[in-house]
Amino acid sequence: MADKKFVFMQGDEACALGAIKAGCRFFAAYPITPASEIAETMARELPKYDGAFIQMEDEIASAAAIVGASVAGVKSMTATSGPGFSLMQEVIGFASMTEIPCVFVDVQRVGPSTGLPTKPSQGDVMQARWGTHGDHPIIVLYPSTVEEVYKHIITAFNLSEKFRTPVIFLMDELLGHMRESFYLPSDDELEIIPRMSDDISDEEIYHPFESEMEIPNPLRAMGRSKFHVSGLIHDETGFPVGTSNTASKLLKRLENKIKLHTDEISIYEEYFVDDMEILIVAYGSVARSALRALKIARSDGIKVGLFKPITIWPFPSNRLRKLMKNVDAVIVAEMNLGQIIKEVALLRHPGLKLEPLNRVDGELISPEEILEAVANLRLKLNEF
Amino acid sequence: MIGVIVLFEFEDLDNYYLVKIFGDFDVLNSGEIKNKILEKVSDVVSKDLVIDLTNVSYIDSSGLGVLIGLHKQCKLNGRRLKLFGLNKQLEELFSLTSLDKILNIYNTFEDAIKKEE
């Protein structure tokens, strides 16, 4: 550990500093609680790396600015919370259709509308998947510790570059505002996918939408490379083509570039799953409570396991389905009225008991509440 | 109910209160620990408060917030908050946040309770 830097960092700060480490050099945003500290850190730090920070007039403009910056050749990011995230949806769709890498951070607070600005929520999980219109691919990550924020915002940029897609990075107020200590990873522990250089000869013609294994060519900066970018259905050249065949081909390729690589994109953690009888599914800040509850239950000899997805979309269904085969009951704990549980329900086998544990009052689900849910579930199982 | 979550032990001794905290001291339990300690010592802290961190592996910002609050409470009443038993990572944390310059940190229990000249 001697060569590693020990830090005590806020979640929002870790998000900003991790993004800079990943190569982000353009950040545009409009201040909003609880994401403003990301903008503050970017405003302070980005100029040191020859990067640019712009406070835009609103969140729509912020989203559009980062898409433009990315097409111009710079890794880019914006950060907001629920109300701003709603405004950004149109641009997320555009980035998805035009396959422009960029990262959207949503530090969730209680909604809808302006809700509870200073309280955590996990109410935007489905919005992150389906907030924009039309069938579209998306990658969504959601860490649960400050250390994971730092690590996986880098993952977010890498996935965005590799799959040429917007990546949504979910956090919540608790994670954004808390401070935790950890050792920063050393450079040789980090893999960072660089943006392709713009070193192209005058004779070479760049086709930005030609693909291999459904993944388009890496994005080159607009400038020396000249190409057309349109939200309309387009062919490999980028120019609009309004035929049914082209539409079907493009939309299926967009879907498949993520779907066919789900296992590669999926990041999750498992705890005590080998002999478990009850499985807890929890993500983000709630996973912290679940892990604490799990350790207490295990010390009492109760065979509980935990599945913590960090990649929320595409949902890591393959692994979870396998784990669920071995248990009689699953508890899904989330700070919403039941969003991911609907995805888990699709994987259940006949006879499996599925229990929701929800809070929407801006308070974190506690380890005690999870233990109580486990105890109640055991009683129910014993009744049969 | 499953499991008994032992957050801390409290002893009311002749010259000081002794509190032993167990496990991680973080956002999941810091509020409860603070309330329970204040229930025991009341707002008018009449003796020094000695906190044993030997069994604490990790503290986050909410845990530090509780320690700072208790330090202030003791100071208001002319008493001292004394900490001992920090592991290496906690030592680094207190150094990084400069709290080692504000809080009274000792290597051992004996050092913490030793009468100062």
> Which helix (H) or strand (E) segment is A346 a member of?
none
- B60 within a domain of the structure (yes/no): yes
Residue B31 covered by a domain: yes
For range A23-42, the mean pLDDT: 98
Q: Where are the beta strands (DSSP E) in A33-165?
A: 52-55, 76-80, 102-110, 116-120, 139-141
Question: What is the CATH number for B85?
Answer: 3.30.750.24
Chain A contacts of B93, Cβ < 8 Å? 6, 8, 181
User: pLDDT band for position B2 (50/70/90)?
Assistant: low
The distance of B41 to chain A (nearest Cα, Å) reads: 25
ipTM (interface predicted TM): 0.89
Alpha carbon distance A275, A277 (integer Å):
7
B78 lies within 8 A of chain A by CB: no
- Compute the 3-state secondary structure of chain A and give helix, strand, coil in percent, each to the nearest 5: 40, 20, 40
The pLDDT of residue A382: 85
Mean pLDDT of B46-65: 95
Model pLDDT, residue B116: 63
Q: List the domain range (segments joined by +) for residue B61.
A: 8-113
Pick the residue of A368, A372, A377 with the most B CBs within 10 A to test the interface with B by mutation: A368
Q: How far apart are alpha carbons A297 and A293 in whole angstroms? A: 6
Q: Residue A216 carries which DSSP code?
A: E
Nearest beta carbon to residue A178 from set B62, B92, B93: B62
Model pLDDT, residue A384 = 63
Residues of A in contact with B28 (CB under 8 A): 288-289, 292, 364, 366-367
Count of the separate structural domains present in chain B? 1
Q: What is the pLDDT of chain A when averaged over all its residues?
A: 95
Q: Is the pLDDT score of B3 beyond 80? A: no
pLDDT at B117 over 70: no
- Chain A within 8 Å of B44 (Cβ-Cβ)? no
Mean pLDDT confidence for A61-85: 97
Q: Please give the Cα distance from A141 to A157 (Å, whole number).
A: 11
Tell me which chain A residues have a C-beta less than 8 angstroms from the C-beta of B62. 178
**Whether B98 contacts chain A with CB within 8 A:** no
pLDDT at A329: 97
Specify the pLDDT at position A207. Answer: 85
Stretch B37-44: mean pLDDT: 83
pLDDT at residue A26 tops 80: yes
Asked if the Cβ–Cβ distance from B93 to A368 is below 8 Å, we say no
Q: Give the one of A7, A178, A375 whose C-beta lies nearest to B27's C-beta.
A: A178
Please write the tens of the pLDDT for every residue from A309-355: 999 999 999 999 999 999 999 999 999 999 999 999 999 999 999 99
Nearest CA in chain B to A179: B61
Per the CB < 8 Å rule, is A297 touching B97? Answer: no
What does the pLDDT look like over A207-234, one tens digit per residue? 889 888 888 988 888 877 788 999 999 9
Contacts of B88 in chain A (CB under 8 A): none
Note whether A364 contacts B92, CB cutoff 8 Å: no
Question: What 3-state DSSP class applies to A39?
Answer: helix
Higher pLDDT, B42 or A149: A149
Instruction: Quote the minimal CA–CA distance from A56 to chain B in Å.
Output: 31
Span B75-86, average pLDDT:
95
B108 domain residue, yes or no: yes
> Would the pLDDT of A2 be above 60?
no
- Residue B5 contacts A, CB cutoff 8 Å: yes
Residue B73 within a domain: yes
**Closest partner CB to A179 (pick from B2, B24, B61):** B61
DSSP code, position A194: P
Taking CA atoms, A82 is separated from A79, A104, A106, A150, A287, in Å, by 10, 12, 7, 21, 21
A6, A7, A8, A376: which to substitute to probe chain B, counting the most B Cβ within 10 Å? A8
| Residue B88 within any structural domain of the chain | yes
Work out how many CB contacts closer than 8 A connect A with B.
54
Q: pLDDT tens, A226-273?
A: 889 999 999 999 999 999 999 999 999 999 999 999 999 999 999 999
Tell me which chain A residues have a C-beta less than 8 angstroms from the C-beta of B3.
296-297, 299-300, 371
pLDDT at A213: 82
Residue B1 lies in a domain: no
Residue the block writes with tokens 């308070």: A363
Residue among A174, A300, A375 minimizing CB distance to B27: A174
By percentage, how much of chain A surpasses pLDDT 70? Answer: 98
The set of long-range contacts for A184-193, using a CB threshold of 8 Å and a minimum separation of 24, is A184/A4, A184/A5, A184/A6, A184/A7, A184/A150, A185/A4, A185/A150, A185/A151, A186/A3, A186/A4, A190/A21, A190/A154, A191/A158, A192/A21, A192/A22, A192/A23, A192/A154, A192/A157, A192/A158, A193/A157, A193/A158, A193/A161, A193/A162
3-state secondary structure of A279: strand
* B97 falls within a domain: yes
Rounded-to-integer distance, Cα A205 and Cα A194, Å: 21
Q: Which runs of consecutive H residues, i.e. helices, occur in A72-138?
A: 82-98, 125-130
Chain A interface includes B1 (CB < 8 A): yes
Whether the pLDDT of residue A167 is over 80: the answer is yes
Q: What is the pLDDT of residue A223?
A: 74
Among chain B residues, the shortest Cα distance to A145 is held by B60
Residues in chain A with CB shorter than 8 Å from the CB of B89 are: 6, 181
Nearest CA in chain B to A299: B3
Q: Is B79 contained in some domain?
A: yes
All structural domains of chain A: 1-265 (3.40.50.970), 269-383 (3.40.50.920)
State how far the Cα of A277 lies from the Cα of A328, in Å rounded to an integer: 6
Query: Strand, coil or helix: what is A335?
Result: coil
**What's the first-to-final CA gap in chain B, in angstroms?**
49
Q: Is A115 left (phi over 0), alpha (psi -120 to 50) or beta?
A: left
Q: Is B9 on the interface with A (CB under 8 A)?
A: no
Tokens describing residue A179: 């401070």
Number of separate helices (H) and strands (E) present in chain A = 13, 17
